Structure 1
Amino acid sequence: MEYKRSESFRHILIKPVDVQYSCNVDQQVALTRTGKILDISPSGMSLLVTKQLTDEEKEYPLLLSFCLYKQTIESQGAIRWERFHPEGYQYGIEMVESTQLENMIVSELKQRRRQEVLDAKKGSF
């Protein structure tokens, strides 16, 4: 199950971002766990988790909640690919299309990057 986003804008995070995700199977919460976002774009992300999802859980959308800079972002996403990672399992998530969501992600990433640059300058003196 390999899937490649055809976007030119994908931000690899210097420090992975915590994300809480849940999966509803047959209108019941099947799981609620935490993971890390390794990279993100306005329409998708690479999610690192410690426990592999079951085949049934992979069929249903994930409900994602995370904060890139200051605002909490909530979205739904579908799993497009899976691969083994030394720290667990890595999933490619395609988020539901929304102009508002995409704008919020880009805005938060810009602010986050500005802060990273400022922090790096402070640390170099």
Structure 2
Amino acid sequence: MFDPPIEGEYEIYLNGQLASHERYIGQILDISPRGMKIVCGPEIESFLMKSSLQMNVRFLLDVTYIRALGDVIWSRSFGDSFQCGLNFTVQKDIDELITNELKHRRRKEVLAKRINHNIS
């Protein structure tokens, strides 16, 4: 879980086709090589009942921008927004890239905590 959440942008797809030419901003709460939990704005609501809803998400975990396509497998209301669970479709090298970026990010977080602890 990210604290604070990581900002990402996403596009909405239905039946494999771009449903809207707009890019939206979401907040990534959690991620693994196989999927993510993301908070989306109210624009997603009209698409949530569609059976083949996908999101193409672009985000930065550490140093490399990642673009991953995922099937929306669940959603729930979250204030005036929606939390959505994505299951990434099979995309060559995305699993490894996400894993490596998470490792690098975590190392930096641990190092920063040590430095802050030593300064205090």
TM-score range, shorter chain: 0.7 to 0.9
Alignment of 1:15-94 (within 5 A): 15-25=4-14, 27-30=17-20, 31-53=22-44, 54-55=46-47, 58=50, 59-86=52-79, 88-94=81-87
- Does structure 2 conserve the Cα–Cα contact (< 8 Å) formed by 1:49 and 1:90? yes
The alpha carbon displacement at 1:29 in A equals 4.7
Name the TM-score, length of structure 2 as normaliser.
Answer: 0.82
Gaps in structure 2 of 5+ consecutive residues: none
Gaps in structure 1 of 5+ consecutive residues: 1-11
The alpha carbon displacement at 1:61 in A equals 1.8
**Distance in 2 separating the partners of 1:94 and 1:77:** 5
Name the TM-score, length of structure 1 as normaliser.
Answer: 0.79
**Distance in 2 separating the partners of 1:110 and 1:28:** 32
Residue 115 to residue 36, structure 1, CA distance change in 2 (3 Å): same
**Distance in 2 separating the partners of 1:75 and 1:20:** 11
- Does structure 2 conserve the Cα–Cα contact (< 8 Å) formed by 1:23 and 1:57? no
Identity %: 27
Name the SS of the counterpart of 2:4 in structure 1.
strand
Q: Which amino acid aligns with 1:74?
A: R
Q: Which amino acid aligns with 1:22?
A: E
Q: CA RMSD in A?
A: 2.1
- Does structure 2 conserve the Cα–Cα contact (< 8 Å) formed by 1:25 and 1:57? no
**Distance in 1 separating the partners of 2:53 and 2:113:** 40
